[in-house]
Amino acid sequence: MSSSFRIAVLAGDGIGPEVMAEALKALHRIEAAFGHRFDFIEADVGGIAIDRHGAALPQATLDTCHGCASILFGSVGGPKWEKLPPNQQPERAALLPIRKHFGLYANLRPAICYPSLAHASPLRSDLVKDGFDILVVRELTGGIYFGQPKKTDSLSEGEAGFDALSRLSQKRSVDTMIYTTAEIERITRLAFMAARKRQSRVTLVDKANVLETSVHWRTTVREIATDYADVSLEYIYVDNAAMQVIRNPRHFDVMLCENMFGDIISDEVAAATGSLGMLPSASLGASAASGATTFGLFEPAGGTAPDIAGKGIANPVAQILSAALLLRHSLKLEAEAASIERAVRETVDDGFRTADIWSPNMHKVGTVSMGDEIAKRVRK
Ligand code: NAD
């Protein structure tokens, strides 16, 4: 069944517009092959929005996003805006507020190491020669990054305790890790549903030997797992997970993490693939009342790459795969998402490489040619 969707396109800064053009190329191929219609509504975000409108996330951009089913995001920031006060800098003033504004509570970070690109991985070749495919599902709006109280108090001499010889002013800092059952439940269900479309295995990453919140996660996830009897569930302490990811990455399918553990583990898994320019991400909010779409923001894992911006050599794959995630998780177009992912895999298998993933005897291509090769392979 063909459908029509409005998609907000926020390309941002640096390589953002270059790689975004290639993602739109792939989506146009999807329109032609599957008979859908996408209306792309472009809006400024990040440094370019500061230059043009005086704010990294102008109200007009938010209004555009509200009128759309989802957001395809590039990346924001760069040297030009680094001297601004921290809370006015593009990442802090655009990305964090937009996630908060739309209540994007789930971060999905797929990390695929393609066997043909295994040489780029920093892991030993015998561990990655067959590749790996891990999806980190990270809770994004709760936990220790947001819990209250969060503060630093000065201590009086009597309270300071032991080291009377210290020349430092004595303080006490508190961060608070809080999770409610509802917060755990919504992301757990999302992880199990994602696992069903993969290898049907979920690993809960926690620290249940020490943290009360982790015990809460375990009991809640165990209870919810009974609704997904076809998906296997295992538990792993976060310190062990950090080791196993680099010792045996193929062990994992979906790794379900609270906010801070997911922050760390998702970067570790990404680094293990060795190809930052290949990695997409999705941040999801609530489903529309009809259940037909889920609002989300889809963006590359990497940043604006100022060192290569404007040279036509950026790898567009992360942005193109972000578009595939948008089709799958937001618009519920699974076959269309799979078509883009297959096209990327075939392009890489056929030997096309941007500079960041190039190896001898492969065809070195620029951003536009890589995008062309991928778009050519998108089919029903
Ligand atoms: P970066 O991810 O932009 O770059 C790190 C390295 O990876 C660079 O060598 C870059 O050339 C390379 N790289 C990244 N994406 C690539 C691609 N698609 N193809 C080829 N190579 C690629 O990180 P950084 O240098 O730390 O940050 C640069 C700017 O991006 C900063 O202003 C930072 O604030 C911003 N940033 C934005 C986001 C975001 O918008 N989500 C995320 C991270 C960094």
User: What would the pLDDT profile of 15-45 be if each residue is shown by its tens digit?
Assistant: 999 999 999 999 999 999 999 999 999 999 9
Q: Whose CA is nearest to atom 12 of ligand 1?
A: 305
Flag whether pLDDT at 163 surpasses 70: no
Q: Residue 288 has what pLDDT?
A: 63
Span 301-321, average pLDDT: 97
Model confidence band, residue 289 (pLDDT cutoffs 50, 70, 90): low
In this prediction, what percent of the chain has a pLDDT beyond 90?
Answer: 87
Query: For the chain, what is the mean pLDDT?
Result: 94
316 Cα to the center of ligand 1, angstroms: 13
Q: In this structure, which CATH number among 1.10.10.10, 3.40.50.620, 3.40.718.10, 3.60.150.10 belongs to the domain 1-107+283-380?
A: 3.40.718.10
The pTM for the full model equals 0.91
Cα of 309 from ligand 1 centre, angstroms: 10
For 115-197, where are the E strands, in sequence order? 132-139, 147-154, 171-176
Residue minimizing CA distance to atom 10 of ligand 1: 305
**Separation of CA 273 and ligand 1 centre (Å):** 16
pLDDT, one tens digit per residue, over 65-100 is 999 999 999 999 999 999 999 889 998 899 889 988
Of the pLDDT bands very low, low, confident and very high (cuts 50, 70, 90), residue 162 is low
Residue range(s) in the chain whose domain bears CATH number 3.40.718.10: 1-107+283-380
Q: What is the pLDDT of residues 95-119, one digit of tens each?
A: 889 988 999 999 999 999 999 899 8
Q: What is the DSSP letter of 200?
A: S
Which atom of ligand 1 lies nearest, measured to the CA of 79?
32
Q: Which ligand 1 atom is the nearest neighbour of the CA of 316?
A: 18
Among 356, 357, 365, 368, which is best to mutate for testing ligand 1, by the most ligand atoms less than 8 A from CB?
Answer: 356
Ligand 1 atom with the smallest distance to the CA of 315 is 19
| Residue 55, pLDDT above cutoff 70 | yes
Residue partners of 205: CB distance under 8 A and separation at least 6 = 236, 237, 238, 241, 255, 256, 257, 258, 261, 262, 265
pLDDT at 295: 95
Q: Give residue 93 CA to ligand 1 midpoint distance, Å.
A: 17
For residue range 177-219, list pLDDT tens digits in order: 999 999 999 999 999 999 998 999 999 999 999 999 999 999 9
- Model confidence at 134, pLDDT cuts 50, 70, 90, reads very high
Q: Which residues are catalytic?
A: 145, 207, 239, 263, 267
Looking at domain 122-142+179-273, its CATH class is alpha beta
Indicate the pLDDT class of residue 290, thresholds 50, 70 and 90.
low
Q: What is the pLDDT of residue 1?
A: 67
- Residue 270 CA to ligand 1 center (angstroms) comes to 13
Q: Which atom of ligand 1 is nearest to the CA of 90?
A: 34
Structure tokens at 15: 């390589």
Ligand 1 pocket mutation, candidates 89, 91, 104, criterion most atoms within 8 A of CB: 91
Ligand 1: nearest atom to the Cα of 307: 11
Query: What are the residue ranges of CATH 3.40.50.2300 in the chain?
Result: 122-142+179-273
Ligand 1 pocket, mutate which of 22, 89, 276 (most atoms under 8 A from CB): 276
**H helices of the chain, where?**
16-34, 47-53, 59-66, 90, 96-101, 125-128, 181-196, 212-225, 238-247, 259-273, 317-325, 334-349, 367-376
Residue nearest to atom 38 of ligand 1 (CA): 303
Please report which confidence band the pLDDT of residue 164 belongs to, taking 50, 70 and 90 as the band edges: low
- pLDDT tier, 286 (very low <50, low <70, confident <90, very high otherwise): confident
Determine contact, residues 118/84, Cβ cutoff 8 Å.
no
pLDDT-above-70 percentage for the chain? 97
